[in-house]
């Protein structure tokens, strides 16, 4: 976990008193955008998937293969609950984290959820650049992502802030989030 010694920033008219949790499909840029957003806000950044791997002593792919998705999701919920505690920070979650009712309820109650959303073409391009995505293993990425989006997008829409990511540098999404935070009530 990266630590930042700066005090938590104040948004116009109010202090930032809770973590910002980025949710959305795999490949949308939650980790990259999250790191950049944390720098802009002067907050620590944590990637929930990296923290899960540290806690388990194995990769997410190994957890899926060895214990199955249900076991992984239980550990994921516990790690996210731990990450939400304490000082405000920016947290990037795995694509399926917000789909779990208990995890989603925790995030909505204790954090500010930001849904990063992108068109399937953008997601397919981005996931093709990185190995180790268990849900895509041996499958057509476009088909899997389209099917997942049909199920997940209505749930992601429960996040109070919705940011569309486009085929542009991730800094564009960071700017959109900063504007949304300025307007957040």
Task: Tell whether 32 is in a known binding site.
Answer: yes
Task: Tell whether 24 is in a known binding site.
Answer: no
Task: Tell whether 165 is in a known binding site.
Answer: no
The pTM of this model reads 0.86
Residue 162 in this model has a pLDDT that exceeds 70: yes
Residue 8 lies in a domain: no
Task: Tell whether 128 is in a known binding site.
Answer: no
Task: Tell whether 130 is in a known binding site.
Answer: no
- What total number of domains does the chain contain? 1
Task: Tell whether 126 is in a known binding site.
Answer: no
* Dist. CA 58–CA 64, nearest whole Å: 10
> Which pLDDT belongs to residue 4?
41
Residue 97 lies in a domain: yes
* Dist. CA 15–CA 122, nearest whole Å: 34
Residue 4 lies in a domain: no
* Dist. CA 35–CA 41, nearest whole Å: 10
For residue 171, the enclosing domain spans 17-183
Band of the pLDDT at 16, cuts 50, 70, 90?
Answer: confident
Task: Tell whether 152 is in a known binding site.
Answer: yes
Task: Tell whether 73 is in a known binding site.
Answer: yes
CATH classification at residue 33: 3.40.50.300
Band of the pLDDT at 15, cuts 50, 70, 90?
Answer: low
Average the pLDDT over 79-92 and give the result.
94
Task: Tell whether 49 is in a known binding site.
Answer: yes
Mean pLDDT of the chain: 86
Band of the pLDDT at 9, cuts 50, 70, 90?
Answer: low
> Which pLDDT belongs to residue 146?
92
Task: Tell whether 143 is in a known binding site.
Answer: no
Average the pLDDT over 34-53 and give the result.
94
* Dist. CA 160–CA 153, nearest whole Å: 13
């Amino acid at each position: 976990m990266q630590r930042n010694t700066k005090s938590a920033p104040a948004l116009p008219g109010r202090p930032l008193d809770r973590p910002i949790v980025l949710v959305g499909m795999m490949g949308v840029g939650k980790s990259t955008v999250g790191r950049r957003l944390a720098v802009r806000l002067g907050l620590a950044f944590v990637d929930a998937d990296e923290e899960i791997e540290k806690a388990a002593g194995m990769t997410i792919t190994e957890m899926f293969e060895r214990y199955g998705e249900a076991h992984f999701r239980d550990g994921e919920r516990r790690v996210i609950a731990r990450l939400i505690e304490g000082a405000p920070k920016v947290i990037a979650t795995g694509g399926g984290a917000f789909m779990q009712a208990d995890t989603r309820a925790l995030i909505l109650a204790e954090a500010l959820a930001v849904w990063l959303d992108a068109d399937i073409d953008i997601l397919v391009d981005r996931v093709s650049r990185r190995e180790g995505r268990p849900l895509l293993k041996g499958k057509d990425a476009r088909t899997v992502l389209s099917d997942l989006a049909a199920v997940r997008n209505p749930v992601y829409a429960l996040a109070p802030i919705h940011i569309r990511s486009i085929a542009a540098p991730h800094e564009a999404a960071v700017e959109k989030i900063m504007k949304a935070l300025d307007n957040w009530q």
